[in-house]
Amino acid sequence: MDIALIGYGKMGKAIERIAIERGHDIVCRINSANRNEFESEAFRKADVAIEFTTPLSAFDNCKRCFESGVPVVSGTTGWLERMEELKKICDEKNAAFFYSSNFSIGVNIFFALNRYLAKIMNRFGEYDVSMKEIHHIHKLDHPSGTAITLAHDIIDNVDRKKSWSEESAGEDVVNIVSERVGEVPGTHIVNYVSSVDAIRIEHEAFSREGFAAGAVAAAEWLAGRKGWFTMEDMLDFNV
C-alpha cells in the first residue's frame, strides 16, 4: 500500500519503519511545518493515511483526509468531544475512518478483559473501582484516551458508576489518577478494592512497537472498506 503519515514524531517514525518492513511505501509525511502537503498529488493518491498528532489538529487532519477521499487511521487522543461531528462528516463523504485510543493488540485484549471483569463486579457492590495511568512526560492529554475508554467500559457495565473524574471519588464516580514519568510508554491499572481484599488488572507497554504495529495492521484492514471502524470491528472479541 501507499501510506501517508500525518504526524512524524516518535510514533510516526515507528509506524514508518514497521510499514516498510511489511512491504508498504511511505509516499507522504505531513507535520506542522508542511501542512501544504495535504494538497499534494502524493497525498491524494495514498491508499490510506495514518494520523498521530495532537488533540488540537486531529479533527482538521481527518476532515482533510475525507475531503481528499483518503481513508484514515487515527490514534490521536484527547478530542473525543468532536467525534460525533466527525462521524457525521464521514457519513456525508462516504469516507473510511478507523479510530482507536490505543492500537496495541495487548491493550485491546485488556479492554475485553476489563469489560468482562466489570460485568462480574456489577454484582458486588462492596468493591469500589478506581484507575491509574502512567505515561511519559511528553504526553499532552490526561487522562489518556486508553484510560477514558477503560472508564467508559466500566461505567457501561457497573450500574453504580455514572461518571469518571480525575478530581474526585465517590460511590458513583470512577476516579482516575494520571502520572507523567520519564519515558514510560504506557501503564494502565484497574483496581477493585473492598474492606477485605483487592482485585487488580494491569497492562504495561514496554515500547511504542505494539502501538505502531497495530496501527499498520488497522491500515491494512481498512483497505477497500467504507464507514467508521474501531479495533472491536477488526479483532471481534465478542466480549
Of 7, 5, 17, nearest in space to 207 by CA? 17
The answer to whether residues 120 and 154 touch, using CB atoms and an 8 Å cutoff, is no
What cell was used for 209? 512497537
Place of cell 478507523: 98
CA dist., res. 78 & res. 182, Å (int):
20
- Among 63, 135, 161, 188, the active-site one is 135
Task: Using alpha carbons, select from 51, 35, 67, 36 the residue that is nearest to residue 3.
Answer: 51
- Look up 139 and say whether it is catalytic: yes
- Annotated catalytic residue 135: yes
Edge-to-edge strand list for the sheet holding 186-193: 163-165, 173-180, 128-135, 186-193, 198-205
> What are the cell numbers at 164?
469518571
* Catalytic member of 139, 142, 152, 226: 139
Give me the active site residues, please: 135, 139
